[in-house]
Structure 1
């Protein structure tokens, strides 16, 4: 029998790792196999990083996210890229997470340094297909990314 404890030391180490890499995001997989039927991971993300707008076409790939530290902004998009909904996620706040259905265009941005969340979805792990990333969705390292991130973060300035 074994157990993994999700303690402050683990989260602190993950935040340190996220701050030290160009992507400004780090993952700690709780599943041991990418073919596992459930993908569960901790993600640390800094404010100059984002989860690119995407959707999941597989009807079994609903995605659940729960904030553990910091503040996250969740954005929901129409097919044309217009923002149709936002939610602020804060530990102990009015909204702690989401469960997004397959086919729902969404993105996540960190609004506070040291933000950490728990993510879960059905496995096995399969990278996003081209059809799951809309043409207007900026790649993280693209010239457009910084401007999009600033516009999206501004949607949460009064929150």
Structure 2
């Protein structure tokens, strides 16, 4: 199933795909596999609800996690790998993004449900939206933070 999910991510225009483990988006805990490929742009965002902490656990590949302050300045970067640092816990209200650092990157995401789409206030106003002209160069800048690793 994980191989098929990675193949779907490679074929997706967004270069990522998820597979829910929970039966309904209304469940109290959202558990999902995320497959992401290099070049996929995840707009920096945060989850404002006090119960929306999220945990990312690596299964395959390498993932860069980037944390930002409210003005969009990078405050921390973390490289997660299936054979090394294997996860991160992100508190509510923390601006963050991720970049795939290797083909076939897969992680498990766990956060409180029910599923609620990001609001405008949870999307970083200082970062390009997905599918805009600036998104590709911004994603490349984020990925370059990990070039020496």
1:141 maps to: 131
Alpha carbons 2:41, 2:136 under 8 Å: kept: no
Aligned with 2:4: secondary structure? Answer: helix
Question: Which protein has the larger Cα radius of gyration, Structure 1 or Structure 2?
Answer: 1
Alpha carbons 1:50, 1:110 under 8 Å: kept: no
Aligned with 1:135: secondary structure? Answer: coil
Alignment pair present for 1:71 and 2:50 = no
Structure 1 residue ranges without an equivalent (≥5): 1-9
Q: How far off is 1:150 after superposition? A: 1.1
Cα deviation digits, residues 89-131 of structure 1 (max 9, x gap): 00121x2111100011010110111100000000000000111
1:15 maps to: 6
2:110 maps to: 120
Alpha carbons 1:54, 1:137 under 8 Å: kept: no
**Match 1:30 to one of 15, 21, 26:** 21
Q: How far off is 1:78 after superposition? A: 1.0
Aligned with 2:5: secondary structure? Answer: helix
**Match 2:47 to one of 56, 64, 75:** 56
Alpha carbons 2:27, 2:114 under 8 Å: kept: yes
Cα deviation digits, residues 26-55 of structure 1 (max 9, x gap): 111000100000000001001010322001
Take 2:107 and 2:55, find their aligned partners in 1: how far apart are those partners? 10
Q: Mean alpha-carbon deviation: is it higher for 31-40 or for 146-155? A: 146-155
TM value normalised by structure 1: 0.91
